[in-house]
Homo-oligomer: A and B are copies of this chain.
Amino acid sequence: MIVSALLTSVGINSALCILFFALYSILRKQPGYLYVYVPRLLAAKGIERNRLIRLKRLLPSPGWVKIAWKLTEEELLSTTGLDAVVFIRIIILCLKIFTFAGIIGLFILLPINCSGTQLAAFDITVISNETLDLFTISNVNNGSKWLWAHCSAVYLMTGFVCYLLYHEYDYICSKRNAYFYASKPQPHQFTILVRGIPVTPGSSVSESVNNFFKDYHPTTYLSHVVIHRTNKLFYLINFVKKMYRRLTHKQSESAKEYSRHNGSFGLHKSDREQKLGDLEENLRAEQSDDASGQEVRSAFVFFRSRFGAAIASRLQQSEKPTEWVTEQAPEPNDVYWPFFQSTFLHRWMSRVVIIITSILLTVLFLIPVVLVQSLANLSQLEVWFPFLKDFLTAKMVRQVVTGYLPNLILQIFVKLVPPVMEFLSSIQGHISYSEIQRSASDKFLWFIVWNIFFANVLSGSFFNLFAVLLDLKNIPSHLAVSVPAQFIHVYAPKFETAGRFWPTVHNCMIFSLVLMHAIALGIFTVKKLSSASSLIFPLPVLTLLFNEYCRKRFLPNFSIYSAETLIKKDREDLSDPQMPRFFTELITAYMDPALSPLQCSNSDCHSVPSFSDISNDHITPLLSLD
């Protein structure tokens, strides 16, 4: 690559940046796009849609940048939770690292590289025609003393990154505790999920749970909800929803027809109401059936204190490790219901199968890609689409097809991976959406690491582009999510992990550092400065030791809160007059949506969350045709 090409590229990217900035500044002010850019405000306050003057709406304005920069962490925390704060901190951390690396690279390493003569002497007068290699370490003379600057830069970078990582870990750790102390009592803090409940003949799962926890946790046990087999119900509800949509659609069409012909609307209407009435009756019968019978051997168990729940979830409960398996419950709206009905062995086996599948997908991913790429070449296209022959022989088109088609195919394949990984994670046996997403991210991360590595080792050609593409794509959605101001309006958290994804980021950074050391080791060996190579060797070891220390020092706080924290928080609540009410509500917090009554409005049907008792009769109306 020559410098002029680089400069062109910089120009294009800068222009794109300005364009997107302007577009965003304009689009965010259009009433039609409010649901994209301020859905939270729309939902919370219901802003007046046409309050803005037309002309102002069409001019880009940078005012939102000021607001975005002025936003403090506390404001962000209070509006969107800790996850958003941690996410922003990750971006800021990356900015810091890139700034530091940029300064060292531009002001120290670049001049040294240019002053070398390994490839050719650097000539400022023909700069735009020079090859880019002249700016890299390749141009430094073999065995030159100047290479020590690069060696020192590796040490500096490692030290700087580790320093930042340590403080970030420490900070997020303390924020997690502070966030926990500041939080209101939340159902998942008091709830555990129990699976593999053994049942003696003649008694129900519910009795078994009650007996066990009353016996072994008498002072802290509050109540429980046994999970029911609701697969059939789930399908029934979906069917009812579909039927409802179809019937209301027909109804509105009939209404139009009625206004034209003034015909037999009354008969039609009662006919449809009859049908919906039948469905409602069916669903209600099924729901009360399933609520009383068909218990699954899993239950949510509620405790009077967080410490009580922690004890029950962290200690093995039964002599048999496969019975009374406990874990901290996810947030009520984070629960993923389908997998409660499977047994220990089933879940374990599906986990194993999915892990093997993911590994195979990751390892074998490049085979179909390369295959399709080799099929979709110019001569093949001419065979498939003979009518395009003249078009394809044009020089410009040839360049585009040969240059961009392979990348396009690769991109399409890569695009398919995250949904596939998420699907795999969803049938792996996780019981919360957050776990599914975390697991899918991990899988995709490994996928990227392996495939970049693999491609680097094998070919190293198109994967440089691959890495760049991954960053540049989806700029608008990045704009809508990653800018702080928009966190307030756009980001509507489905669940709150209180920054539990930080350790993954930390591990990625450590991985990158060790990768950098490996590359440096290789370069210094090629550059015949063996003393520098051997001086690099302690760095990965030290970095890994640092990582190990961080694991010991901070990681435990990311899996469970300490006894001290839990007890302190429990004691605070003792004086809270709201607690009795909270405990009453707690019992109804974990309700299978398939057992909740269905509420139908003009546009759609949805399950009504959390209500007190499924089996008594005030669950009317199941369907209301407002």
Give the interface of A toward B (CB within 8 A): 177, 216, 310-312, 314-322, 324, 344, 348, 352, 545, 548-549, 552-557, 560, 562-565, 567
Q: Which residues of B contact A555 (CB under 8 A)?
A: 321
The answer to whether B216 and A564 have CB atoms under 8 Å apart is yes
The answer to whether B352 and A562 have CB atoms under 8 Å apart is no
The answer to whether B316 and A563 have CB atoms under 8 Å apart is yes
Q: Which residues of B contact A560 (CB under 8 A)?
A: 315-316
Q: Which residues of B contact A319 (CB under 8 A)?
A: 177, 557, 562, 564-565
CB distance from A531 to the nearest CB of B (A): 23
CB distance from A173 to the nearest CB of B (A): 8
Nearest first, the 8 closest Cβ-Cβ pairs linking A and B are A321-B556, A316-B562, A315-B563, A317-B563, A318-B564, A316-B556, A216-B567, A319-B562
The answer to whether A552 and B348 have CB atoms under 8 Å apart is yes
A548-B348 Cα distance, complex, nearest whole Å? 10
A397-B320 Cα distance, complex, nearest whole Å? 63
Q: Known pairs A314-B314, A317-B562; list 14 more (Cβ under 8 Å).
A: A216-B564, A310-B315, A311-B311, A311-B315, A315-B562, A315-B563, A316-B556, A317-B564, A318-B564, A320-B553, A321-B556, A321-B557, A322-B552, A352-B545
A83-B320 Cα distance, complex, nearest whole Å? 21
Pick the residue among B315, B317, B318, B321 that contacts A314 (CB under 8 A).
Answer: B315
A553-B320 Cα distance, complex, nearest whole Å? 7
Q: Which residues of B contact A317 (CB under 8 A)?
A: 562-564
Ordered by A's residue number, 16 sampled pairs between the chains whose C-beta atoms are within 8 Å are: A177-B319, A216-B563, A316-B556, A316-B560, A316-B562, A317-B562, A317-B563, A318-B564, A319-B557, A319-B562, A321-B555, A322-B552, A322-B553, A324-B564, A348-B549, A348-B552
Q: Which residues of B contact A316 (CB under 8 A)?
A: 556-557, 560, 562-563
Q: Which residues of B contact A314 (CB under 8 A)?
A: 314-315
CB distance from A588 to the nearest CB of B (A): 27
A564-B564 Cα distance, complex, nearest whole Å? 24
The answer to whether A352 and B548 have CB atoms under 8 Å apart is yes
Q: Which residues of B contact A563 (CB under 8 A)?
A: 216, 311-312, 315-318
A314-B307 Cα distance, complex, nearest whole Å? 13
CB distance from A199 to the nearest CB of B (A): 16
Q: Which residues of B contact A567 (CB under 8 A)?
A: 216
Q: Which residues of B contact A352 (CB under 8 A)?
A: 545, 548
A556-B319 Cα distance, complex, nearest whole Å? 9
CB distance from A485 to the nearest CB of B (A): 33
The answer to whether A318 and B562 have CB atoms under 8 Å apart is yes
The chain B residue with its CB closest to the CB of A217 is: B563
A321-B563 Cα distance, complex, nearest whole Å? 11
- Of A545, A549, A564, most B-chain CB atoms within 10 Å: A564
A315-B317 Cα distance, complex, nearest whole Å? 14
- Of A312, A316, A567, most B-chain CB atoms within 10 Å: A316
- Of A320, A324, A545, A552, most B-chain CB atoms within 10 Å: A320
A344-B553 Cα distance, complex, nearest whole Å? 10
A216-B210 Cα distance, complex, nearest whole Å? 27
Pick the residue among B216, B311, B318, B554 that contacts A321 (CB under 8 A).
Answer: B554
CB distance from A553 to the nearest CB of B (A): 6
A310-B320 Cα distance, complex, nearest whole Å? 17
Q: Which residues of B contact A322 (CB under 8 A)?
A: 552-553
CB distance from A194 to the nearest CB of B (A): 12
CB distance from A582 to the nearest CB of B (A): 23
